[in-house]
């Protein structure tokens, strides 16, 4: 699938990038050709060209990650845009001039636009996104790093009671003493109980390869 997208990208770049910048555009794409997150961003950008003018992506910056969604700043020859990406797809999330939409601010834990700009200023001097990001022991679903806790609800997280898959085993029902889990309060309480028991951080060696759910977007337990 990533190969198909790269093939299409080659065509999009022919049409969407000024002749004199096509080499640069392709160099950036090549650098990230093994990273589905970046390829999804390139694919979305060059197939749509958000400002409907020929343009060229010069750099990606990873700003935030939450529940398997990553917020990128995409610097082009003309402007800077936000993109929301996961391993399946990427979507345009506005221009950096206008700031981040309210629902995204809240999703990534910012009280308001001011708090967001306070953290990032004018977005200059941020480290560029690394082509090795996915190779350096990230959880394939929620992208936490080695030794970090998963986003709660990540299907890769191991249950501290039964060593099963935390979002699929029956421990949540036993621990809460209920037959069904359907409210935020229950979920919250289960998270607290899990924390108390001792949540199991991400360990690439034992958790990464075998999980059949790898490659699917993160789901909260229902
Ligand atoms: Zn995870
Ligand atoms: Zn369990």
Strands across the sheet containing 80-85: 57-66, 69-76, 80-85, 90-95
| pLDDT tens, position by position, 102-113 | 999 999 999 999
Q: How far is the CA of 60 from the centre of ligand 1 (A)?
A: 23
Residue given tokens 């990038």 in the structure block: 17
Residue 174 Cα to ligand 1 middle (Å): 23
Ligand nearest, relative to CA of residue 190:
2
User: Could you tell me the pLDDT band of residue 208, with boundaries at 50, 70 and 90?
Assistant: low
Ligand 2 centroid – CA 136 distance (Å) = 28
Q: For residue 137, what pLDDT band results from cuts at 50, 70 and 90? A: low
Cα 104 to Cα 10: distance, rounded to the nearest angstrom: 31
Nearest to 141 by CA among 149, 131, 129, 150: 150
Given a cut of 50, is residue 35 above it in pLDDT?
A: yes
Check whether 209 has a pLDDT greater than 70. no
Rounded Cα distance between 191 and 197, Å, is 10
What's the pLDDT score for residue 214?
A: 43
For the chain, the distance separating the N- and C-terminal CA atoms, rounded to the nearest angstrom, is 30
Do the beta carbons of residue 151 and residue 219 sit within 8 Å?
A: no
For residues 116 and 212, the model is more confident at 116
Query: Each residue of 89-117: b (16+ CB within 10 Å) or e?
Result: ebeebeebeebbeeebbebbebeeeeebe
Residue 208 CA to ligand 1 center (angstroms) comes to 9
Q: Which long-range contacts (CB under 8 A, 24 or more apart) does 197-200 make?
A: 197/160, 197/161, 198/160, 199/149, 199/150, 199/157, 199/160, 200/157, 200/158, 200/159, 200/160
pLDDT tens for each residue of 9-18: 999 999 999 9
Whole-number Å distance, alpha carbon 88 to ligand 2 midpoint, is 28
The token duo for 79 is: 């402007």
Dist CA 78 CA 190 (whole Å): 47
Q: How far is the CA of 142 from the centre of ligand 1 (A)?
A: 4
Give the pLDDT score at 179: 93
Which positions ≥6 away from 147 have C-beta within 8 Å? Answer: 201, 202, 203
8 Å CB contact between 114 and 129: no
222 pLDDT above the threshold of 70: no
212 has pLDDT over 50: no
Averaged over 108-128, what is the pLDDT?
94
Q: Report residue 115 as tokens.
A: 């708090």
- Rounded to two decimals, what is the model's pTM? 0.75
- Ligand nearest to the Cα of 207, by number: 1
Query: How far does the centroid of ligand 2 lie from the alpha carbon of residue 133, in Å?
Result: 30
**Cβ contacts of residue 65 below 8 Å, gap of 6+?**
71, 142, 143
**Domain range annotation of the chain:** 2-120, 148-222
Give me ligand 1 centre to Cα 55, in Å: 35
Q: Are the beta carbons of 61 and 129 closer than 8 angstroms?
A: yes
Alpha carbon of 170 to ligand 2 centroid (Å): 6
What is the predicted pLDDT for the residue at 219?
Answer: 45
Position 221 pLDDT exceeds 70: no
Write the pLDDT tens digit of every residue in 176-199: 999 998 899 999 999 999 999 999
């Amino acid at each position: 699938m990533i190969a198909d997208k790269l093939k299409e990208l080659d065509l999009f770049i022919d049409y969407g990038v000024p002749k004199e910048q096509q080499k640069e555009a392709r160099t950036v794409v090549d650098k990230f050709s093994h990273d589905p997150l970046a390829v999804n961003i390139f694919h979305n950008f060059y197939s749509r060209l958000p400002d409907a003018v020929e343009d060229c992506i010069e750099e990606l910056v990873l700003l935030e990650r939450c529940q398997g969604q990553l917020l990128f700043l995409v610097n082009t020859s003309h402007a800077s845009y936000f993109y929301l990406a996961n391993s399946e797809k990427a979507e345009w999330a506005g221009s950096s001039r206008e700031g981040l939409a309210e629902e995204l601010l809240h999703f990534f834990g910012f009280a308001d636009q001011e708090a967001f700009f306070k953290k990032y200023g004018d977005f200059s001097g941020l480290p560029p996104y690394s082509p090795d990001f996915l190779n350096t022991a990230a959880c394939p679903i929620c992208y936490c790093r080695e030794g970090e806790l998963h986003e709660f609800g990540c299907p890769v997280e191991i249950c501290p009671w039964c060593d099963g898959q935390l979002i699929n085993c029956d421990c949540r029902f036993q621990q809460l003493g209920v037959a069904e889990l359907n409210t935020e309060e229950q979920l919250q309480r289960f998270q607290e109980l899990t924390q108390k028991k001792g949540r199991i951080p991400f360990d690439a060696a034992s958790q990464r390869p075998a999980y059949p759910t790898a490659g699917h977007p993160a789901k909260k337990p229902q």
